[in-house]
Amino acid sequence: MKRPGLVKAVLIVLFFIFLIQGGLRLYRHRHFDVPVVTGPGVTRVAHLSDFGPGLKGTMADTLVYFLDGTEPGGKAILMSNTHANEPEGLLAALLMLENAVVEKGSLIIIPQFNHSAGRNTRPGDGYPLYFEIPTDWGRKTFRMGNRDASPLDQWPDPDVYIHYPDRQLLSYIDARNVNRTWPGRPGGPLMEKVTFAAMEIMRREKVDVAVDIHGAETMFPVTNCIVAPEKSNRIATMASLTVKAKEGFDSHVEPSPAGFRGLSHREIGDFSDTLPFLLEAPIPFLDQPTGPKTVKFLLDGKDPFLLSLAQKKKLFVPYDASGWPLEKRVGQHCSVILEILRQYSKKNPDRSILVRDIPRYAEIVQNGVGHYFHDPSRAERDRVYPN
């Protein structure tokens, strides 16, 4: 080589161009806040670290919103972004946060349950870093997170994740998946501290109902459903039948497997008096054999490869050229949650939870999800929380 110094200088310049260009985008994503306009129903805002030691000052700490009714009654907790690449859960929770008014009982909402995952990006699959949805006042931007917490916050991964307390052997990656670390422990890895803090909320506040809101692939059998353990099964079945009869969409009931540990729908019920439910709406974006993972695909759920597979009966949900748009997914979640609360209240009138001003499936499909979000620039400052 004639001029190694010059070659090295060029390579070093290229190295810094790649490093800075890529690094800045990752930094901005990790520190991008979504403004949440708390609605008239929000009575107080706490942190998850108020309930669990070891979370304060970490990226796993997250906001917990309380919507207390004027009359005492039961309590329900809603968690979304357990998997931060399933945005229909987040949008359903935020929609409720910005609009719901509780008349009796209390609603507790943790929209960014895995806060670290919400600020993590997914390498390799070409996922977008952000997505936008149209609203009545402009476009609202959200971070697209990942399924698992960022290794910046919990590292290294073990060779095998040993679930606490059952000692079941799970995949190494599940150490950063908060839907495998229930019921958690105060001195465990960061994600176990997150689930422990949530369990503490349920135990201290005497929460009656817990709903963990998700999305699942159309090729995965546990999709478009309510996952419920034995103790929640009756209410889940009634909710499923009612939304089918009254609102015309399917959300069947899947039993929570007793031998598969760490999941919210199993451990919450086993380690507290709370009735757990896990909701899955179909999200074609997460399926593997699809076209490019674009924002448009994330929002409308339309994909020619999935359409072809649907014609060969390879999917677990009905799928046609209309795809599976975000409005349907969010609408299903809102209606199923309202129905679970209604069924629980019917069975337990002394612990009933009455909520109003949450739109149901048909309204959300008609008006779009963005219609229900408020403009943070016009809201009172003390009602806007960066999340």
Partner 1 sequence: MPIIMIFYYLITAYLVVLLAWNFVREKKKTEDMALYLLVLIPLVLRILRLK
The smaller minimum CB distance to partner 1, of residues 106 and 146, is found at 146
Q: Identify whether the C-beta of residue 372 lies closer than 8 Å to the C-beta of residue 237.
A: no
Nearest-approach distance from CB 112 to partner 1, in angstroms: 20
- The contact mask relative to partner 1 for 141-180 (x = CB under 8 A, - = no) is ----------xx--xx------------------------
The smaller minimum CB distance to partner 1, of residues 10 and 258, is found at 10
Nearest-approach distance from CB 186 to partner 1, in angstroms: 14
Q: Which helix (H) or strand (E) holds 198?
A: helix 190-204
The smaller minimum CB distance to partner 1, of residues 154 and 387, is found at 154
Q: Which stretch binds partner 1 (CB under 8 A): 8-16, 258-266, 317-325, 344-352?
A: 8-16
Q: Which stretch binds partner 1 (CB under 8 A): 18-26, 45-53, 264-272, 328-336?
A: 18-26
Of 139, 200, 188, 138, the closest CA to residue 162 belongs to 188
Nearest-approach distance from CB 27 to partner 1, in angstroms: 5
φ, ψ of residue 204 in degrees (nearest 5):
-70, -40
Cα gap 55→84, rounded to integer Å: 19
User: Does position 1 bind partner 1 by CB under 8 A?
Assistant: yes
Task: Specify the amino acid at residue 150.
Answer: S
3-state SS assignment for residue 258: coil
- The contact mask relative to partner 1 for 22-41 (x = CB under 8 A, - = no) is xx--xx--x-----------
Nearest-approach distance from CB 53 to partner 1, in angstroms: 14
3-state SS assignment for residue 98: helix
User: Does position 11 bind partner 1 by CB under 8 A?
Assistant: yes
| H-type alpha helices, 248-348 | 264-271, 295-300, 304-311, 326-347
User: Does position 130 bind partner 1 by CB under 8 A?
Assistant: no
Nearest-approach distance from CB 102 to partner 1, in angstroms: 39
CB atoms under 10 Å from CB of 237, counted, come to 15
Half-sphere exposure of residue 91: CA atoms within 13 angstroms, side-chain side: 33
Nearest-approach distance from CB 1 to partner 1, in angstroms: 5
CB proximity list for 16: less than 8 A, separation 6 or greater:
none
Token pair of 51, please?
């309930």
Query: In this chain, which of 35, 104, 121, 360 binds partner 1, going by CB under 8 A?
Result: 121
- Tell me how long the chain is: 387
The smaller minimum CB distance to partner 1, of residues 7 and 162, is found at 7
Question: Looking only at residues 186 through 225 of this chain, which bind partner 1 when binding is defined by CB under 8 A?
Answer: none
Token pair of 140, please?
């609202």
Nearest-approach distance from CB 107 to partner 1, in angstroms: 35
Q: Which helix (H) or strand (E) holds 103?
A: strand 101-110
| H-type alpha helices, 171-282 | 190-204, 233-247, 264-271
Binding site for partner 1 (CB under 8 A): 1, 4, 7-8, 11-12, 14-15, 18-19, 22-23, 26-27, 30, 121, 123, 151-152, 155-156
